[in-house]
Structure 1
Amino acid sequence: MKLIMRADDLGFSEAVNYGILKSIVDGVITSTGMMPNMESAKHGYELVKNLDIALGQHTNICVGKPLSDPALIPSLVQKNGEFCSSKEIRARKEDSIVVEEAEIEIEAQLQRFIEITGRKPDYFEGHAVFSENFFKALKNVADKHGLFFCNPSIDKEWEKENHLYGLPFFKLDSDGLYDPKEYMQDNFQLIKENECSVAIFHPGYLDQYILTHSSFTKIRAMECDFLCSEWLKQWICDHQIELVNFKNYQK
């Protein structure tokens, strides 16, 4: 049994960066995705650059400002030039993201990733926006640059082709939390049956930027604590689960 423990949102804020760092050093995270357009992206990279993990591009088109000219990507931005929120995008009756416009911003974020890190990402995926046009644009850019496009839990054909299977998304309670022990136990049979499973988390600490700009707040600190817990480490050991990362599955 193999399992990738993925932490999203590196670069969202400095507090999130420190939580992800702890979840790697003191916890079981094996892969993390960086949001290249965010002001704290370089700060996050500097924290994790020497750690034995897979570092991906967590492409972001719904928080903050784009790296490309807003005039070139009208389907992605508000009148003030900042990205439309994920909530606003989900409320649309149709997928109005224009593939070609999304590709412009994705390319810009890839170039920023390379500027920050000096290399291409180990895997390539998107943040918070469940849009077929966004996924298509991500795959187009990934294919163009020979990158490992990653889409578990969403694209069943991708899962079969890459032998990587995402665990189901957790369901949050009225406080925006869930029971992570129960989540892992409930999904153990899937982990056992799959060649390799992918579990996605959002560990982090909280600062004012996250409190203002993210719907994930208390869940980040809770997951950070869980990912570093002795219970989880012992559970992984007891079930003889091998922790791997996305570099093990690059083509």
Structure 2
Amino acid sequence: MKLLVQGDDYGFTKGVMWGMLEGIDHGVLTCSGLFANVPNAELAAAQMRLRPDFCWGIDFNLVAGPCCADPKKIPHFVDASGNFIRSNITVKDPRWQSEAGRREMFPYEECYLEVRSQFDRYVQLVGKKPGYLNGHSINHENLTEAIRQLSKEEKIPYTNDILQEFNFVWAVDISGNEATTAKVFDPMNQVKRNPLKFFMEHAEEYLQHEYVFAAGHPGYVDAELFAQTSLSIERCRDLEMVLSPVLKKWIDENPVELISYRDLIEKEGEK
């Protein structure tokens, strides 16, 4: 079994950044995507440059923090200050319930412009292109199409497509997690969430598959998170999982190989 362990939102806050680095340096994380638009991106990129062998990607963020493109050119999903309209507001808009409405809220040309701008900022900060492209929070049709267009232009894989190509089984439990689905902050549900327990309960089942995908948002929880996202407290649970001695022992005792998108790209090139 080949296990890909992905950590999203790298650089979102300093707490998220340092927690993610803990998961990279001492845990089983195999890839992580940078938020290139946030104020901490420069600090986060400096740490990335210290870890050149790790598989770094980009998480395109259109729902939190400042935009990278000229805000006058992407008026549909930023406010007067050039900050993205939060996802918990977006999903309450009646238009969000239909494809036509979502395309109206996030026009393709504006999505592509922001995605391209975040990509260019990533290259400027890190000094090289990301290893993969990934969407964040609320994936919708025009954002997906914009990422796929950039993927084609830059010849960099889009996570959704490469995971589908290799027929990955998802080892992710989002049942009842309204921070992910409905963008509702429920502190007790996040405290009770236990991805490590969920994974270990299904571990024998995962061993029956060739490719397994485990994703989360590992990080330390800091006050800055509460002003930015409904998905906050549970990040420490995701970090607990990727650092867990129980999970590490299971990996060591079973035919499990930790892989990243880089390994998949190389395998694709061999075809």
Q: TM-score, normalised by structure 1?
A: 0.90
1:43 corresponding residue in structure 2: 43
C-alpha displacement of 1:68:
0.6
C-alpha displacement of 1:59:
0.8
Amino acid at match of 1:121: P
Question: Do residues 167 (structure 1) and 171 (structure 2) align?
Answer: yes
- CA distance in 2 between counterparts of 1:160 and 1:26 reads 29
Q: In the alignment, which of 191, 199, 202 is matched to residue 217 of structure 2? A: 202
Question: Do residues 107 (structure 1) and 113 (structure 2) align?
Answer: no
Helix, strand or coil: the match of 2:8?
A: strand
Question: Do residues 183 (structure 1) and 187 (structure 2) align?
Answer: no
C-alpha displacement of 1:127:
1.0
Distance 1:189-1:38 versus aligned 2 partners, 3 A rule? same
C-alpha displacement of 1:239:
2.6
2:237 corresponding residue in structure 1: 222
1:244 corresponding residue in structure 2: 259
- CA distance in 1 between counterparts of 2:3 and 2:62 reads 28
Question: Do residues 140 (structure 1) and 149 (structure 2) align?
Answer: yes
Amino acid at match of 2:78: V
C-alpha displacement of 1:219:
1.0
Which blocks of at least 5 consecutive residues in structure 2 are unaligned? 178-185
CA contact (8 A) 2:196 2:240 kept: no
- CA distance in 2 between counterparts of 1:159 and 1:225 reads 24
CA contact (8 A) 1:170 1:183 kept: no
- CA distance in 2 between counterparts of 1:32 and 1:116 reads 16
Query: What CA deviation, in whole Å up to 9, does each residue of 1:150-182 have, x standing for no partner?
Result: 11xxx7xx5442444433442338432412232
Mapping for residues 19-168 of structure 1, pairs under 5 Å: 19-51=19-51, 52-91=53-92, 92-93=96-97, 94-95=101-102, 96-151=105-160, 159-168=163-172
Query: What CA deviation, in whole Å up to 9, does each residue of 1:200-231 have, x standing for no partner?
Result: 11111122211211212221122222321211
Amino acid at match of 2:123: I
CA contact (8 A) 2:133 2:159 kept: yes
Helix, strand or coil: the match of 1:68?
A: coil
Alpha-carbon RMSD across the aligned residues, in angstroms, is 1.9
Q: TM-score, normalised by structure 2?
A: 0.84
Figure out how many residues of one structure are paired with residues of the other and give that number.
246
Worse overlay, 108-117 or 128-137 = 128-137
- CA distance in 1 between counterparts of 2:208 and 2:141 reads 28
2:182 corresponding residue in structure 1: none
Amino acid at match of 2:174: F
- CA distance in 2 between counterparts of 1:218 and 1:150 reads 25
- CA distance in 1 between counterparts of 2:201 and 2:144 reads 29
Amino acid at match of 1:232: L
CA contact (8 A) 1:2 1:191 kept: no
C-alpha displacement of 1:37:
0.4
2:11 corresponding residue in structure 1: 11
Helix, strand or coil: the match of 1:75?
A: coil
- CA distance in 2 between counterparts of 1:87 and 1:11 reads 21
